[in-house]
Homo-oligomer: A and B are copies of this chain.
Amino acid sequence: MSIREVATRAGVSPATVSRVFTRPDAVAPDTRDRVLAVAQELRYTPHPVARSLARRRTGNLGIVVPDIANSFSAVVTKAVQQEAARDGYALFVSGSDERAQDEEQWARAMAPQVDGLMLVSPLMSDEALRELADIPLVLSNRLLDALPAVVTDASDAVGHAVEHLHALGHREIVYLAGPDGFANTMRLRGYHGACRRLGVRPRELGPFNARFADGVRAADLVLATSATAVVAYNDEVAVGVLNRLADRGLRVPDDLSVVGVDDTSLAEMVTPRLTTVRLPAAESGRVGVRILLDLIDRRPAPAEPVRLAAELIVRSSTGPVRHGE
């Protein structure tokens, strides 16, 4: 209805109006100006839904994350939205709340109305993932077949954390495992590798949920051992440990050294400031979008998963082992 209004008012055909908004230089300067003037006057703007149908392109991207309110997910989402916006793409967002079923359902619902889909730490079955891949799809922190993926490899940096603690004199370093999955596997690999190299006996506790409350709970379990240092699955768990330690009147790092993973903003806000492994959350979002855009425009996507490195950030929650120990 609307492109026709503009067309008649400007004394041209709808096709010409369409051209003005798609390939402006395919139309004569004066008619273009005339059309533009009418469009402006009528506040006309091409209807995106009709456009999507005709073009078979929506101009939208979608992302499904484990938890929108989780600060790590939020940082990824923000970066994805910003990067997508640079190319004029709008973004659908949804959270799975860690339920594989909801996740799959959302992904399926989004698929037909987006040009590309990013799945962050997806839980769904390999089969479900493969079926979704008939549209441009990129996985974050999950590997499957040759599907495009961006993964954050924390293993080296977690290894550095262990070395760091070892250099401070720690010999009993416990790892607080998180929920089973790619992230935990990588951390564990780094932990075990470093322990082996350094001759430290590895010791795992957990698995815990990746939550503050679980960190609080974990603290007492750690204190029941002879450990002098702990590497937690993520910052939130680490901060839970910190909190419980403070309640029990223990001092960090004097009584126990604590390391987190993520380097969310939380890490710098707590007392003492948290030594942690920085994960390139925003970068992984940006890389994901770029892969998607390549796929959409039929440019080649990276054949191998893009591996992003993490780095150890030393702050005040780690220190020399206490002499008395």
Binding site for B on A (CB under 8 A): 45, 47-50, 52-53, 58, 60, 67-71, 74-75, 77-78, 81-82, 85, 90-95, 106, 108-110, 112-113, 212, 236, 239-240, 242-243, 246, 265-266, 268-271, 273
Contacts and interface: CB of A to CB of B under 8 A. Distances in A.
Given A47-B112, A69-B77, 13 more contacts: A48-B112, A49-B113, A60-B113, A68-B77, A85-B94, A90-B92, A90-B106, A92-B93, A242-B271, A243-B273, A266-B266, A266-B269, A269-B270
A100 B151 CA distance: 35
Contacts of A265: 212
A94 B80 CA distance: 10
Given A90-B109, A95-B78, A212-B265, A49 B52 contact: yes
Contacts of A60: 92, 113
Nearest to A246: B271
Contact of A269 (B48, B49, B74, B243): B243
A71 B68 CA distance: 10
A219 to B, nearest CB: 13
A193 to B, nearest CB: 31
Contact of A91 (B71, B78, B94, B246): B94
Main secondary structure of the interface of A (DSSP, over half): helix
Question: Which among A52, A78, A95, A109 has the highest number of chain B CB atoms within 10 Å?
Answer: A78
B53 A239 contact: no
B58 A68 contact: no
A74 B72 CA distance: 11
B93 A93 contact: yes
B49 A58 contact: yes
A93 B77 contact: yes
Contacts of A246: 271
Contacts of A74: 68-71, 74
A93 B91 contact: yes
A100 to B, nearest CB: 16
